[in-house]
Amino acid sequence: MIRGGLINPLHLYENTERHIMANLGIPQNTIAVLQKYNISFQKKFGQNFLIDTHVLEKIVAAADITKDDLVIEIGPGIGTLTQYLCEAAGKVVAVEIDRNLIPILENDTLKDYDNVEIINADILKLDIEKLIKDRPVRGKARIVANLPYYITTPIVMQVLESRAPVDSLTVMVQKEVAERMQAAPGTEDYGAVTLAVNYYTSPRIAAYVPMNCFMPRPNVDSAVIVLKMHEAPPVDVKDEKLMFSLIRASFNKRRKTLLNGITTGGLGFTKEEVLKAFETCGLDPAIRGEKLGLPEFAALANALGERTV
């Protein structure tokens, strides 16, 4: 049940003989589930269960979910965040890679929700566009997740590059990763991931989450970041693949100048071709890639692309 845009944890499950648990955001309830099923944490899946109701409420509020929306949750675990998503959304699809957790979700922690579908699969192997199209809703499709730290960037980039019809991604990631995604040019955190994320989305950190909000406790703090998809790319670039090749080449060796990064990056351009493109774009040959934003990289890609025609 939603009150004032937030979820009242008291309305998530009542303790009866039929139910093993109430709100899983309460630590003792999570502990009871783990003990009942003798669950051992799977490091290979990056499992850290969230045990803070305030953080759970912040995630749902940041995702801006309505009862008309379809929410895809990546890695529901034992269903802690899923309970909150089911209260807020019209339909929830929970994609869990650990098959040992499926019976808990289906038969226990989520069994009383009729708006959730549980899929045992690797999100990196799923066709997200098809998943969404096969489950039409009146509202928008959103992705919400407490992502495993070891695979955060591959998951985020696969979703973005697939151009699946998703309105936004609201994800819990390592604090440093979130700050990298919304970093400004010239800063230490700025890099290829920053540019890629900003090409597809408008990133915003919604909350910082300390390590003591998880079980087991990780070694790093986290952050909730909202990636709002652009309706159209923010820059006009004729060859996206070339632009991202230039970006990767410029950050592979940050201490090199952009000119050296491109000419030694295996992209097939001569130094003379790159210098002419620099002149066309008004770029200093001594500039480093970390000083450029998306507009400059797009312009450079367009100038170099014309020289290969």
pTM above 0.85, yes or no: yes
Alpha-carbon gap, residue 196 to 190, rounded angstroms: 11
pLDDT score for 15: 41
What pLDDT does residue 44 have? Answer: 56
Per-residue pLDDT tens over the stretch 175-189: 999 999 999 999 999
Domains of the chain: 2-229 (3.40.50.150), 240-307 (1.10.8.100)
β-strands 141-146, 214-215 pairing: unpaired
Residue 139 has pLDDT above 90, yes or no: yes
Q: Is the dihedral of CA 23, 24, 30, 32 positive or negative?
A: positive
Kindly state the percentage of the chain with pLDDT values over 90: 77
Q: What share of the chain is helix, strand, coil (3-state, %, to 5)?
A: 45, 15, 40
Binned at pLDDT 50, 70 and 90, residue 309 comes out as very low
Q: pLDDT confidence of 2, banded at 50, 70, 90?
A: very low
pLDDT in tens, 39-82: 776 555 556 889 999 999 999 999 999 999 999 999 999 999 99
Which residue from 129, 122, 132, 133 is spatially nearest to 95, judged by alpha carbons? 122
Q: How far apart are CA 192 and CA 188, in angstroms?
A: 12
Please state which of the ranges 30-34, 132-136, 152-156, 282-286 shows the lowest mean pLDDT: 30-34
Q: Which helix (H) or strand (E) holds 205?
A: strand 201-209
Q: Give the pLDDT band (50/70/90) at residue 307.
A: low
Peptide bond into 9 cis (omega under 30): no
The pLDDT value recorded for residue 65 is 98
Confidence of residue 34 (pLDDT cuts 50, 70, 90): confident
The predicted pLDDT at position 207 comes to 97
Q: Which whole-number Å values give the CA distances from 200 to 35, 231, 290, in the listed order?
A: 42, 9, 19
Mean pLDDT (whole number) for 139-158: 93
What is the separation of C-alpha 269 from the centre of its chain, rounded to a whole number of angstroms? 34
Question: pLDDT, tens digit, for every residue of 227-275?
Answer: 999 999 999 999 999 999 999 999 987 778 999 999 998 899 999 999 9
How many residues comprise the chain?
A: 309
